[in-house]
Amino acid sequence: MTQRKIKLLPEFLICVSIFLLIIPIRWMLCWIAAAILHELFHIIALKLCGFQILSVSLGALGAKIDTDAETGVKSILCALAGPLAGFLLLFFVRKIPMIALCGLFQSAANLLPVYPLDGGRALKEFIFLIFSAQRANKIASVIEWIAWIILFAVSIFGVLRLHLGLLPAFAVLMLFLRKKYLANGAVKRYNIPNRI
């Protein structure tokens, strides 16, 4: 039996420290609670699908779960389990409104069709079930670029027209950096073989 490990990477603590300086502690704790539930649902789904969890690492750009998961329908279910947790929190919105709101935001963001977010991972796996690898790569790439163009346009609109400050642009930039960081092989969620 493989020993399970939970790793807390140094950049996670640095990131939390920075966010504590700019975000009220109540909101930070609610965000962390929603994120923990999100990751627990991923872990529960992985276990129910019969996959082994090798390690869980917390870094500046989110959590990474290393497992022996395979590609296919089970992988899609495991990817969508985390966002499901955030939506289920809405049933408790009267009791824990701040956590429910954080869970809703996390789930909506994670369902964006951008790899390696949960929505991008599920969409990519679904496309690979239907099409050949070469065609699936092209379709996934086109969908992802369309999503990026829309995200950048919405963030610019939020900054210039809605006067939301730099927060929308910062959020999209962080998401883009996370994608580049993960795409360079620094982190692989679920350890699913990268077909691109």
Q: How confident is the model at residue 86 (pLDDT cuts 50, 70, 90)?
A: very high
Across the range 15-28, mean pLDDT stands at 80
Q: How confident is the model at residue 175 (pLDDT cuts 50, 70, 90)?
A: confident
Q: Are 52 and 2 in contact (CB under 8 A)?
A: yes
Q: Are 178 and 61 in contact (CB under 8 A)?
A: yes
pTM value surpassing 0.85: no
Q: Name the strands in the sheet holding 53-59, side by side, starting at the edge strand that comes first in the sequence.
A: 5-8, 53-59, 62-67
- Where do we find the tokens 């927060």? 167
**Is 163 exposed, middle or buried, given 0-12, 13-18 or 19+ CB atoms closer than 10 A?**
exposed
The sign of the torsion formed by the CA atoms of 59, 62, 67, 71 equals negative
Cα–Cα distances (Å) from 63 to 35, 37, 173, in that order, read 9, 12, 18
Locate 196 and state its tokens. 């691109």
Predicted pLDDT of residue 187: 38
pLDDT tens for each residue of 60-77:
667 778 788 777 888 899
Q: How confident is the model at residue 140 (pLDDT cuts 50, 70, 90)?
A: confident
